[in-house]
């Protein structure tokens, strides 16, 4: 296997598009495990972690642009990013993992339990994908198509994650549960984003992870939240709607019954925090 370090996006795209089966690598915290287990054998790995254009968080006229090679540790520490995304980043692994792992790697790995996925879906983030033949923008909600499956085409690179100003103006919160507090993959996670106006929820976006093949938006629960007063919010009917929308399975991390039970608790906590209660 050949390993090339790209200095620019153009160089990375030329390398990725030049040989079938080539894969980008950023922090390598997911890919190294896949390679060590013999589950993939790409002929070429293109290291994109050091490309300046893919790193950091910038304010733009369209809100905030996050470079996919920004580390999870950096995302966790940014006061200008929505709370649910920072909280999701803080929930990932250990300090060592967070210093290497990137937000783009978390997104493109597309594990249903990835801790930045439900926040990015709740925030209605847009992913800019580039290849040698041009760029396209895909809403986070349409990017994930199955466990570890995305709409990324061969030779395509995630080059930017965008969050619109309206979403930055809302309030949000994230919760996860795992078998212990640190270095653990979520059994369930939940992100809530609310737009509040005079104490009334004008719009709500709710997404949960690890209870369906992809991070799942709970549209029926959202509909019940819209127009409600945040003060004294009765969350029980919302949780009942959420329960009807999820489709958890049992696996090595948790049973489906447990996942159902804790989804309600996580959503309740995230909702109350986002509503400022």
Ligand X SMILES: Cc1cc2nc3c(=O)[nH]c(=O)nc-3n(C[C@H](O)[C@H](O)[C@H](O)COP(=O)(O)OP(=O)(O)OC[C@H]3O[C@@H](n4cnc5c(N)ncnc54)[C@H](O)[C@@H]3O)c2cc1C
Q: Which residue ranges make up the site for ligand X (CB under 6 A)?
A: 23-31, 33, 48, 68, 72, 91-93, 97, 100-102, 104-106, 108-109, 114-115, 152, 157-158, 183-185
In the complex, what is the shortest distance from the CB of residue 194 to ligand X, in angstroms, rounded to a whole number?
23
Which residue, 110 or 194, is less far from ligand X as judged by CB?
110
Give whole-number Cα distances, 171 to 157, 187, 191, 208, 277, in Å.
30, 24, 11, 17, 12
In the complex, what is the shortest distance from the CB of residue 260 to ligand X, in angstroms, rounded to a whole number?
21
Which residue, 183 or 255, is less far from ligand X as judged by CB?
183
Which residue, 89 or 230, is less far from ligand X as judged by CB?
89
Which residue, 158 or 177, is less far from ligand X as judged by CB?
158
Q: Report the chain's terminal Cα–Cα distance, integer Å.
A: 53
Closest by CA to 64, choosing from 117, 126, 140, is 126
Which residue, 27 or 63, is less far from ligand X as judged by CB?
27
Which residue, 111 or 265, is less far from ligand X as judged by CB?
111
In the complex, what is the shortest distance from the CB of residue 250 to ligand X, in angstroms, rounded to a whole number?
20
Give the pair of three-digit tokens for residue 209: 């992870």
Instruction: Please list, residue by residue across 85-124, b when 16 or more beta carbons sit within 10 angstroms of its beta carbon and e when fewer do.
Output: bbbbbbbbbeeebbebbbbbbbbbbbbbbbbbbbbbbbbb
In the complex, what is the shortest distance from the CB of residue 37 to ligand X, in angstroms, rounded to a whole number?
12
Give whole-number Cα distances, 140 to 5, 9, 107, 119, 221, in Å.
28, 21, 9, 10, 19
Q: What is the DSSP string of 61-91?
A: TTEEEE-TTSBHHHHHT-TTS-HHHHHHHHT
In the complex, what is the shortest distance from the CB of residue 229 to ligand X, in angstroms, rounded to a whole number?
34
Phi (first) and psi of residue 187, to 5 degrees: -85, -35
In the complex, what is the shortest distance from the CB of residue 148 to ligand X, in angstroms, rounded to a whole number?
8
Cα–Cα distance for residue pair 224/241, rounded to 1 Å: 8
């Amino acid at each position: 296997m050949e390993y090339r370090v790209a200095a620019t996006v153009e160089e990375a795209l030329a390398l990725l598009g030049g040989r079938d089966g080539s894969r980008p690598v950023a922090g390598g915290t997911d890919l190294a495990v896949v390679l060590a287990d013999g589950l993939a054998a790409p002929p070429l790995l293109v290291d994109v972690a050091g490309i300046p254009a893919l790193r950091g968080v910038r304010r733009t006229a369209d809100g905030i642009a996050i470079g996919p090679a920004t580390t999870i540790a950096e995302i966790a520490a940014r006061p200008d990013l929505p709370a649910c995304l920072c909280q999701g980043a803080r929930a990932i692994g250990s300090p060592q993992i967070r210093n290497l792992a990137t937000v783009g790697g978390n997104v493109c790995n597309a594990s249903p339990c990835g801790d930045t996925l439900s926040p990015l879906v709740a925030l209605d983030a847009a992913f800019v994908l580039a290849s040698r033949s041009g760029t396209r923008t895909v809403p986070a909600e349409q990017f994930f198509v199955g466990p570890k499956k995305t709409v990324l085409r061969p030779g395509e690179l995630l080059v930017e994650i965008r969050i619109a100003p309206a979403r930055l103006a809302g309030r949000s919160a994230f919760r996860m549960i795992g078998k212990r507090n640190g270095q653990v993959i979520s059994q369930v996670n939940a992100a809530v984003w609310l737009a509040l106006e005079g104490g009334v929820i004008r719009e709500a976006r709710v997404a949960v992870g690890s209870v369906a093949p992809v991070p799942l938006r709970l549209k029926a629960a959202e509909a019940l939240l819209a127009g409600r007063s945040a003060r004294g919010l009765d969350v029980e009917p919302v949780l009942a709607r959420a329960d009807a929308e999820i489709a958890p399975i049992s696996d090595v991390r948790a049973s489906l019954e447990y996942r159902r039970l804790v989804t309600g608790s996580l959503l309740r906590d995230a909702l109350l925090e986002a509503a400022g209660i």
